[in-house]
Amino acid sequence: MSFYTSLTGLNAAATELSVTSNNIANSGTASFKRSNAEFGDIFATSTLQRSASGVGSGTVLLGINQQFTQGNIEASANSLDLAITGDGFFPIKTSDGAELYTRNGGFMLNDNNLLVNSEGHTLQVHPLNEVTNESNFNQATVGLEVKRNLPATATTTIDLDIKLPMTGPVIGVNGGTPINITDNTTYSETQTFSLYDDAGEPYTATVYYQKIADDTDDGAGNVQDLWLADVYIGDATTPAATTNLAFNSVTGALETTLAGGGIGIDQITLDPSVPDSRTSAISLSLNATSHGKEFQIVSQTQNGLPGGGLVNVDVGNDGLVTATYSNGQQIAAGRINLANFSSPEGLRQDGGTKYSVTAASGTVSYGEAGTAGFGTIRSGALERSNVDLTAELIDLISAQRNFQANAKAIETSSSLTQTIINIRG
């Protein structure tokens, strides 16, 4: 009996040696979590046997449990290397659709603009609300895509806010002198801005302002200053659009427009021009007032951008992924949410520091990084293994001693058995 008892001890010591050796071998593996072998004693007794007389039948392996303590964080030059400080896992998906979880945040962009790890598994995120940048946890996860290139977008809207001078010479009477862009005596003020055509190529538009009346009565008792505005595109010699502006001579408010737009803001439409690679109309919103000072441009904004290439990817502590492009545009590509479990120790190890769900781990729950129950994400860093080599070497010595002691017990048991066999009557 003692022979088999010692044999269980030998097996236990060999298992502990294997577990400790695996810990040591993976001390340099990113995000590796060390394991402990847990053993229990064996007692084989019958119902009528006194418990005090039970000797025991050795030991048995109860389980090999991983220790999900935090590993040290090591800085990296790659902004897509991500480390979790605190609880949580990165959700990933294999090419065959299997859902796995890992703390190894070594990611890169593949040729499909998806964030993947070294094995090609795709980092999963929830769809993002483009206005609030909040994740929709009610929808299934999708692969995180960061586009390397953005297409050009044509200008379709322009918003101008200006202040024209109340004082100044009147050029002609009620438009009697037409605007000539080559003669600066035919206009009072100019305003130039850059726009983009369908191919993202820049071109210029210029608004020429001409004062055509000063303190004139509109026939309804309103004293007004009247202006003419012509919009020229590029090198064109004829205006793309024309509008008239009427300001209150006392308050400077834009009271009426003679060419649409209502009171306060004038709306001007620039028609498409296929030869100029402009297939969409441009809506120009002109918010104008007059004042007692010189011509002033309060604001000048328009949409449209040239094509842009990816220059930087930033991942915030809350997991928000922001892509910056060469055209100056910044886009929220997605938000990396973390996965967690009621019992992470129950996860099944699938190799490569990856885990899958089991009944013992509980179901997966998702949350934004930095919220209750979930750690934060650090960009440009990786989590090292939580193996303490000094402690592992001590465990190695202890397992070796246990193996030697159990081997000695087997040797002693064998000697006793041999002595009994050699007894002669």
CA distance 116 to 90: 11
Specify whether 240 is located in the same domain as 257.
Answer: yes
Query: Which residues, 6+ apart, have CB-to-CB distance to 421 below 8 Å?
Result: none
Q: Are 334 and 321 in contact (CB under 8 A)?
A: yes
Specify whether 358 is located in the same domain as 372.
Answer: yes
Q: What was the pLDDT predicted at 80?
A: 94
Number of domains in the chain: 3
DSSP 230-297: EEEETT-SS-SEEEEEEEETTT--EEEETTSS-SSEEEEEEPPBGGGTB-S-EEEEEEEEEESSS-EE
Report which of 257, 263, 261 is spatially closest to residue 244, judged by C-alpha positions.
257
CA distance 74 to 108: 17
Specify whether 116 is located in the same domain as 177.
Answer: no
Q: What was the pLDDT predicted at 177?
A: 84
CA distance 188 to 214: 13
Query: Which residues, 6+ apart, have CB-to-CB distance to 423 below 8 Å?
Result: none
pLDDT one-digit tens code per residue, 307-345: 999 999 999 999 999 999 999 999 999 999 999 999 999
Quote the percentage of the chain above a pLDDT of 70: 92
213 forms bridges with which residues in the sheet?
226
Return phi, psi of residue 172, to 5°.
70, -175
pLDDT one-digit tens code per residue, 203-226: 999 999 999 988 888 777 778 999
CA distance 280 to 220: 39
Specify whether 110 is located in the same domain as 165.
Answer: no
Give 3-state DSSP helix, strand, coil % of the chain, rounded to 5.
Answer: 15, 40, 45
Q: What was the pLDDT predicted at 49?
A: 61
Q: What was the pLDDT predicted at 259?
A: 42
Specify whether 287 is located in the same domain as 237.
Answer: yes
Cα dihedral across residues 385, 364, 76, 142: positive or negative: positive
**Using CB atoms within 10 A of its CB, is residue 87 exposed (0-12), middle (13-18) or buried (19+)?**
middle
Report which of 146, 134, 147 is spatially closest to residue 366, judged by C-alpha positions.
134
- One-letter amino acid for residue 362 of the chain: G
178-187 contacts, C-beta under 8 A, 24 or more apart: 179/208, 179/210, 179/228, 179/230, 179/239, 181/206, 181/208, 181/232, 181/237, 186/210
pLDDT one-digit tens code per residue, 14-45: 889 999 999 999 999 999 999 998 888 877 65
pLDDT one-digit tens code per residue, 121-139: 999 999 999 889 899 999 9
What is the SS3 assignment for 410?
helix
Q: What was the pLDDT predicted at 1?
A: 57
Quote the percentage of the chain above a pLDDT of 90: 63
Average pLDDT taken over every residue of the chain: 88
Specify whether 187 is located in the same domain as 163.
Answer: yes
Specify whether 274 is located in the same domain as 205.
Answer: yes
Q: Read off the DSSP letter of residue 112.
A: T
| CATH, residue 262 | 2.60.98.20
The answer to whether residue 189 sits within a structural domain is yes
**Using CB atoms within 10 A of its CB, is residue 280 exposed (0-12), middle (13-18) or buried (19+)?**
middle
What is the SS3 assignment for 78?
coil
Q: What was the pLDDT predicted at 51?
A: 61
Specify whether 297 is located in the same domain as 161.
Answer: yes
Task: Check whether 202 has a pLDDT greater than 80.
Answer: yes
| Number of helices and strands in the chain (H, E) | 2, 30
The answer to whether residue 209 sits within a structural domain is yes
Domain that holds residue 320: 73-149+315-383
CA distance 288 to 147: 40
Residue, of 332 and 235, whose pLDDT is higher:
332
Specify whether 395 is located in the same domain as 258.
Answer: no
The answer to whether residue 289 sits within a structural domain is yes
Q: Domain ends where: 281, 302, 323?
A: 302
Where does the pLDDT of residue 53 fall: very low under 50, low under 70, confident under 90, or very high at 90 and above? Answer: low
pTM of the shown model: 0.77
Q: What was the pLDDT predicted at 173?
A: 65
The answer to whether residue 197 sits within a structural domain is yes
Q: Domain ends where: 268, 302, 336?
A: 302
pLDDT one-digit tens code per residue, 273-286: 888 889 999 999 99
Task: Check whether 425 has a pLDDT greater than 60.
Answer: no
Specify whether 161 is located in the same domain as 296.
Answer: yes
The answer to whether residue 78 sits within a structural domain is yes
CA distance 278 to 174: 33
Residues 91-102: what's their mean pLDDT? 95
Report which of 267, 271, 249 is spatially closest to residue 258, judged by C-alpha positions.
267
Distance of CA 153 to the CA centre of its chain: 23
214 forms bridges with which residues in the sheet?
none
The answer to whether residue 309 sits within a structural domain is no
pLDDT one-digit tens code per residue, 363-399: 999 999 999 999 999 999 999 999 999 999 998 898 8
Q: Domain ends where: 302, 334, 356?
A: 302
Q: In the structure encoding, which two tokens stand for residue 388, read together?
A: 């303490």
Query: Which residues, 6+ apart, have CB-to-CB distance to 89 below 8 Å?
Result: 101, 102, 103, 338, 339, 340, 344, 355
The answer to whether residue 308 sits within a structural domain is no
Return phi, psi of residue 205, to 5°.
-130, 140
Task: Check whether 71 has a pLDDT greater than 80.
Answer: yes
Distances (CA, A) of 124 to 119, 143, 178, 335, 366: 15, 5, 62, 10, 11
Specify whether 328 is located in the same domain as 367.
Answer: yes
Specify whether 193 is located in the same domain as 140.
Answer: no
Where do the DSSP E strands lie in 71-179? 73-75, 81-85, 90-93, 99-102, 105-106, 108-109, 115-116, 122-125, 142-143, 149-150, 157-165
H/E element, 3 = helix 2-25
Residue, of 147 and 60, whose pLDDT is higher:
147
Q: What was the pLDDT predicted at 264?
A: 52
Q: Are 59 and 42 in contact (CB under 8 A)?
A: yes
The answer to whether residue 310 sits within a structural domain is no
